[in-house]
Structure 1
Amino acid sequence: MAVFRGPRRWLWRWRRNPLRRRADVVEGWVLVGAWLLTLLAGTVAGFMAARTVERDLAQERAATHPMVAYVVAHAPGRSGARGSTGERVWAEVRWTAPDGALRTGQVRVTPGAATGVPVAIWTDGHGRLANRPATPTEATVRAAFIGTLAATAAAAVPFAAGRRLLARLERHRLSLWDSEWSRLGPQWGRMTG
């Protein structure tokens, strides 16, 4: 059976009231502390995670360089068979590393690419193949997404702890009320009877 609590009053735990108990004030401060810790933990974790992701992606962008490679052998598939799905096939390509050495590797190209067709690739500082780095816009979106996830996860801890502590305090308060009622309830029965 749900207990009727009546209308909510703003800051009722701190208002002067002869019925206010120490437990009400403690609950109020626990609630305020839990909310402050939730906001602080979420904000700090979110900004730190977002900043770390942006920094790592910027380092990745700085460490990779675009180059032109050339298809070594005819790529599988029909030339011009590229559909609306943007299908790509693996083919071997060759490029010249910054130190002048010839390198080869496998990259995705359009189906049926002929021998000698230029292909844009990304390499690291040693001339090895690397993944295309995230653009600054992609990095910002990734950082915001990961920051939001980190903020939510970090904020959930103090929020859940505060809710659990409030539930324990309420159970304790209700048990105090029960003990007081069991002591005073019989006296009321004599007065009204």
Structure 2
Amino acid sequence: MSTTQWLWRWRSNPLRRHEDIVEAWIVLVVWVVAVVGGALAALVTAQAADHVYAEQRAHRHAVRAVLVSDAPHGFAADWSTDGRVRGAVRWTAPDGTSRTGHTMVDGGLKAGARVTAWQDDRGRLLLTKPTDGAQGHVEAALFGAAAALALAAPVFAAGAVARARLDRRRMARWDQEWNLGGPRWGPRAG
């Protein structure tokens, strides 16, 4: 498709109607908002998610813990998709006190087994480790893409609704003009 064909709505044309000009502007605005707005939404969202993951990595620390009771196998207790189960552990907090709590551990471990647990800066036990750098970047990019789509979808939908209304209006005007000029051409076929 050549540029002149693509830009037909912008040319001076005796057959061009007001609806054609409005439709051309609608298409232009929809694409600009979807592309520029989507890119900005993706960038802001990805950077925000990346910042959250970096904060998690900065404020979550691995700590050695001891399993207090036997960890159940598989479906016997709360479990995750990677086969880990919720188990009671004892660990030493940053202030030197001994604490107990629950975290995710490998299923089937016996009491007394050493496990790695994760705590925040205040010594609170966390269920999961922080998202690592590479995985965080991938998830941030996916969040950014989702934000771009979340912005673009309603913009394109609004543009489609506006264009459909213009088409209805254009068809009504064509029908009016046909009713005025058509009878002068003779009998209709059909």
Report if TM-score (shorter chain) is over 0.5: yes
Q: Could you say which residue in structure 1 is the equivalent of 2:18?
A: 22
The 5-angstrom pairing of residues 130-145 of structure 1 reads: 130=126, 131-145=128-142
Give the C-alpha shift of residue 72 in structure 1: 3.3
User: Secondary structure at the residue paired with 2:63?
Assistant: strand
Q: Could you say which residue in structure 1 is the equivalent of 2:177?
A: 180
- Which whole-Å deviations, capped at 9, do the CAs of 1:147-183 have from their partners, x for residues lacking one? 1111101111111111111111111111111111111
Distance in 2 (CA, whole Å) between partners of 1:40 and 1:147 is 13
Distance in 2 (CA, whole Å) between partners of 1:177 and 1:118 is 81
State the superposition RMSD in angstroms. 2.3
Identity of aligned pairs, percent? 43
User: Structure 1 residues 150 and 87 mapped into 2: Cα distance closer, same or farther (>3 Å)?
Assistant: closer
User: Structure 1 residues 91 and 164 mapped into 2: Cα distance closer, same or farther (>3 Å)?
Assistant: closer
Distance in 2 (CA, whole Å) between partners of 1:46 and 1:86 is 30
1:71 to 64, 67, 76: 67
Contact 1:14 1:25 in 2 (8 A): yes
Distance in 2 (CA, whole Å) between partners of 1:171 and 1:86 is 55
- Using structure 2 for the length normalisation, give the TM-score: 0.82
Q: Which runs of 5+ in 2 are unaligned?
A: 74-80
Q: Which runs of 5+ in 1 are unaligned?
A: 1-7, 78-84
Q: Could you say which residue in structure 2 is the equivalent of 1:4?
A: none
Distance in 1 (CA, whole Å) between partners of 2:50 and 2:89 is 31
1:102 to 98, 109, 129: 98
Higher Cα radius of gyration:
1
Query: Aligned letter for 1:185?
Result: G
Give the C-alpha shift of residue 92 in structure 1: 2.8
Give the C-alpha shift of residue 89 in structure 1: 4.4
| Corresponding position: 1:52 with 2:48 | yes
Contact 1:50 1:143 in 2 (8 A): yes
User: Secondary structure at the residue paired with 1:121?
Assistant: strand
Contact 1:87 1:111 in 2 (8 A): no
